[in-house]
Structure 1
Amino acid sequence: MKFIHSADIHLGSMLNVYDENLKEYSDVFRNAVYDAFKKIIDYAIDIKVNFLIISGDLYDRDGKSIKANSFFNLQCRRLLNENINVYIAAGNHDPFVGKREIFNLPENVFICSSEECSEFEMKDEYSNIIARVYGNSYRGKSDSRKLYNSYNPVDDNVFNVAILHTELNPNNFNYVPCTLENLKSKKKMSYWALGHIHKCRILNDIQPVVAYSGMPQGRDIGEEGIGGCLLVEVNEVNKPSIEFLPTSSVVWKRVEVDINEVTDNQPKNLTELINLMESKAQHIINQLENIPSGLHTNVDLNGIVKGYAIRWIIKGRGSINTIFEDSEDDLEEIIKENLNSKLMNYSKFIYTDSIDVRLEKEIFNIEGLKNDNTIVKEIYELCDEFSEKDDLRKGIIATFGQVWESNYDMENINYLKMQLDEDTFQEILRKARELIIYSLMEEK
């Protein structure tokens, strides 16, 4: 038996790319989410799977797009022609699924109830039950029920699949609170097909297998990396093997450009910096994209990925920092325009989405100071402690003020506050460290 586990399709959304200078690529960015779902359907047909699982958030929002609904129906009719069923649990983005359909759903599409745990039987050509699928849909945009308690297979003689849309956080009552241990305790369950977290991860690789398939197509830098779905093959003793199937036509990436990489050839002006970034871009094109850890794929990634959307992080210590500090122009935007005019023409396009400048002032023999100067050494050590020790970390975050939100929900961001994610926290520490050290050096 074979099935595909997918989740978080978010039909009706598009990539967060807004650049009037790139109109010829607008269709690529607008249709990437749809293309990813079509690839899932292509895989299902080519591999001849028995069924397809969608673990929540098939659609992006309540105001269902007619285009999205029509597209979904057309793709499911392709599966109907191949006798492939589709089992869906509604998530927090699309609790309306099955309740306010614009088109009649094809008869091969089954939607889990929002009131009780649904059970579906999958039979072979001889009418033998080869799998049971269990699932429970969200009632609304949040759901505080401990739904896993209602997933109770009648036996473990067949492969039992559970569809659940959860954050796996027992303290977050918006998204079906539970723990990994709660799911693992359901011994009759064979496979937990999870949705909601947009990163593909295998959390438990023995029965019951617990897995997030991740998002098929990232839409911004917060959803970086290649997305896809999971092909699950089950042998005679109900033991599953899992393969990653890539679906992202556009891959979001953070790329660091360290100006100190070659100590005797640091970029001294914008032309040299842009040239360095171009050489990094060439490396991106030539490098095989990493798939999720612990998984393998038999798919040629070169046939899937059309291009990349990059956030460049420019770091290091050198004289070029003065150009950024003294300029009244938006140098980041100038660099972005220069890069896009060149890199969008590559065999796999490279779109520069944003540039994060983290350059530091020139300080003579900084490495020597870190080793020999007691104060500088203590500043570095203190910053390391703030990063690693929870009590110190909480203390320093408390001094940041109420404008920052450190425990935020990515699905319900408070836009009146600044979001203190890990990357931002580390950058605040770095800037504070540099400001103190440079001030000490000036006084000296």
Structure 2
Amino acid sequence: MDFTFIHAADIHLDSPLKGLEKYEGAPVEKIRNATRDAFRNLVDLAIEKKVCFLIIAGDLYDGDWKDYNTGLFFVSQMSRLQKENIPVFLIRGNHDAASLITKELKLPNNVIEFPVDQPITETIEEYNVALHGQGFSSRAVTENLAKAYPAKKEGYINIGILHTSATGREGHETYAPCSLEDLRIKDYDYWALGHIHLREVLQESNPVILFPGNIQGRHIRETGNKGCTIVHVKNGRINSYEHHSLDVLRWELCEVDASDAKAIDEVIEKAREQLERLYQQNEGRFLAVRIRVIGATSIHQRLIVEKDHIINNLRSTALEVGYGDVWIEKIKIETNRLIDIEELKEQHTPVANILEYLEEITNDPDTLQLLLQEFKDLQNALPQELKSSEESFDFQSTDLLTKRLPEVEDLLLYYLTTQAGVEKPS
């Protein structure tokens, strides 16, 4: 019998998107509703493709609900599938483990949740499908769950549903670890995995083993195309499968090389070209972009001094390029100076004396501590949001102070060397 099903994972419904700096024009509503809109797209797709069932391989939720609205939204979407006679098979992952979710709602009859204490098998006799799965009872499941999964059911398409880090992936905690051999030995036809947010096919066939990735990127470390996997079964075998995009807000990195730039306008124009390319590549989808300005450049000091001017002009450029649908999440100026500091120090000028003093400060813990004392009053006066932001200044740490000194050095070089004729402003 020929049929189609969808494999999705890591929905993280109502997860707050992270690292979003608020400024005029920020798409607050679009950001807030992104995971719901992506999930609604998943349900729309299941109905449009007339799939026989939907698999959710863990982390439907992002943790305990703030209120019942998260659960009610899920129920409303499942009711849409129930109306179309589409069953949903799900397991719990580390973010929605049984011990984490304190609020519960009765789910529609088409939603089948696997237990968390042992793996079991659910069958769909109409399609000769046997689904094997087990959810997480607690957030940190460190044992190999796959080893206890049931033997395959003869004469059926066998599908394993597992939330796992597999052999381990960078940026993801090690939960329910297993090897590919642990999965192969079960002799299933398909392993529907969850937990890893980047789509990855671990084995292309016999059995197919894959992570579909999450359906909506939540921060700048989750860039690119996000969605689910559509699987086609023909003559009782897995015939083909493909990725389908679901995300409504896509995260992208934009690197602007300022190496050969002679003026700030050139940097902004380069950024425009990159943003236009990204917007076209993503077919007009709403983009949240982080811009990194890189390279060793003669205008390095100007970029540091005129940072606010550049940031706001780049934001304005993005709004223009995307007609309001390209939003700048953050801009990082990470260029390097072309001025030879050691050569300047050898000139025995006032500039050289200042540079040498800064170098001494960097290597003198006592002086650094005295500098921190000078900032005590400023620390107390700062609002909380400036103390807790990603780039906040920690007045208790000399390490962070030494990291800031190069920026001070750049500011001094700009104001002193431009006057002395070492670097002419462009």
Category of TM-score, reference length = shorter chain: 0.7 to 0.9
RMSD of the TM alignment (CA)? 2.7
| Among candidates 338, 342, 359, match of residue 313 of structure 2 | 338
- Distance in 1 of aligned mates of 2:326 and 2:29: 16
- Distance in 2 of aligned mates of 1:222 and 1:311: 10
Q: 2:368 aligns to what?
A: none
Cα distance change of structure 1 residues 3 and 156 upon mapping to structure 2, 3 Å threshold: same
- Distance in 2 of aligned mates of 1:267 and 1:84: 60
Q: 1:274 aligns to what?
A: 268
Q: 1:309 aligns to what?
A: 288
Cα distance change of structure 1 residues 175 and 363 upon mapping to structure 2, 3 Å threshold: same
Percent identity (aligned): 31
- Larger relative contact order (C-alpha < 8 A, sep ≥ 6)? 2
Contact 1:113 1:137 in 2 (8 A): yes
How far is the alpha carbon of 1:217 from its aligned partner?
A: 0.5
Q: 1:204 aligns to what?
A: 203
**Aligned with 2:107: secondary structure?**
coil
Cα distance change of structure 1 residues 73 and 334 upon mapping to structure 2, 3 Å threshold: farther
How far is the alpha carbon of 1:98 from its aligned partner?
A: 11
How far is the alpha carbon of 1:347 from its aligned partner?
A: 3.8
Q: 1:357 aligns to what?
A: 333
How far is the alpha carbon of 1:130 from its aligned partner?
A: 1.7
- Distance in 1 of aligned mates of 2:152 and 2:209: 20
- Distance in 2 of aligned mates of 1:130 and 1:65: 39
Q: 2:5 aligns to what?
A: 3
**Aligned with 1:322: secondary structure?**
helix
Q: What whole-Å deviation, never above 9, does each CA across 1:309-362 have from its counterpart, x for those lacking one?
A: 11112112221112145x2x6x1x543322223422424621111122221222
How far is the alpha carbon of 1:3 from its aligned partner?
A: 0.7
Q: What whole-Å deviation, never above 9, does each CA across 1:180-203 have from its counterpart, x for those lacking one?
A: 22212222x111111110001111
- 168-177 vs 315-324, which moves further: 168-177
**Aligned with 2:36: secondary structure?**
helix
* Runs of 4+ residues over 6 Å off in structure 1: 170-173
Contact 1:90 1:97 in 2 (8 A): no
Say whether residues 1:319 and 2:298 are aligned partners: yes
Q: 1:164 aligns to what?
A: 162
Q: What whole-Å deviation, never above 9, does each CA across 1:21-65 have from its counterpart, x for those lacking one?
A: 125x21111101111101110010000001100010000012454
Q: 2:279 aligns to what?
A: 285
- Distance in 1 of aligned mates of 2:302 and 2:246: 41
- Distance in 1 of aligned mates of 2:184 and 2:60: 26
Gaps of 5+ in 1: 290-301, 365-414, 416-427, 432-444
Q: 2:83 aligns to what?
A: 81
- Distance in 2 of aligned mates of 1:146 and 1:257: 44
Q: 2:254 aligns to what?
A: 255
| Among candidates 21, 24, 30, match of residue 21 of structure 1 | 24
Contact 2:116 2:134 in 1 (8 A): yes
How far is the alpha carbon of 1:276 from its aligned partner?
A: 2.0
- Distance in 2 of aligned mates of 1:89 and 1:97: 14
Give the counterpart letter for 1:308 in structure 2.
L
**Aligned with 2:25: secondary structure?**
helix
Contact 1:12 1:64 in 2 (8 A): no
**Aligned with 1:15: secondary structure?**
coil
Q: 1:60 aligns to what?
A: 62
Contact 1:122 1:131 in 2 (8 A): yes
Q: What whole-Å deviation, never above 9, does each CA across 1:380-437 have from its counterpart, x for those lacking one?
A: xxxxxxxxxxxxxxxxxxxxxxxxxxxxxxxxxxx9xxxxxxxxxxxx9xx9xxxxxx
How far is the alpha carbon of 1:99 from its aligned partner?
A: 7.1
Q: What whole-Å deviation, never above 9, does each CA across 1:102-130 have from its counterpart, x for those lacking one?
A: 42100000111001112111132xxxx52
Q: 1:40 aligns to what?
A: 42
How far is the alpha carbon of 1:267 from its aligned partner?
A: 3.8
Cα distance change of structure 1 residues 52 and 276 upon mapping to structure 2, 3 Å threshold: same
- Distance in 1 of aligned mates of 2:152 and 2:297: 67
How far is the alpha carbon of 1:97 from its aligned partner?
A: 8.6
Contact 2:65 2:101 in 1 (8 A): no
Q: 2:387 aligns to what?
A: none
Give the counterpart letter for 1:227 in structure 2.
K
Q: What whole-Å deviation, never above 9, does each CA across 1:253-277 have from its counterpart, x for those lacking one?
A: 11111123xx5xx2423x3322221
Q: What whole-Å deviation, never above 9, does each CA across 1:50-100 have from its counterpart, x for those lacking one?
A: 110001000001245422111110000000000000111100000139975
Say whether residues 1:234 and 2:236 are aligned partners: no
Cα distance change of structure 1 residues 59 and 45 upon mapping to structure 2, 3 Å threshold: same
Number of residue equivalences: 339
Larger radius of gyration: 2
Q: 1:184 aligns to what?
A: 184
Give the counterpart letter for 2:117 in structure 1.
E
Give the counterpart letter for 2:312 in structure 1.
E
Contact 2:63 2:100 in 1 (8 A): no
Give the counterpart letter for 1:351 in structure 2.
W
Gaps of 5+ in 2: 341-389, 391-402, 407-426
- Distance in 2 of aligned mates of 1:233 and 1:348: 38
- Distance in 2 of aligned mates of 1:336 and 1:216: 30
Give the structure-1-normalised TM-score. 0.71
How far is the alpha carbon of 1:9 from its aligned partner?
A: 0.3
Cα distance change of structure 1 residues 130 and 101 upon mapping to structure 2, 3 Å threshold: farther
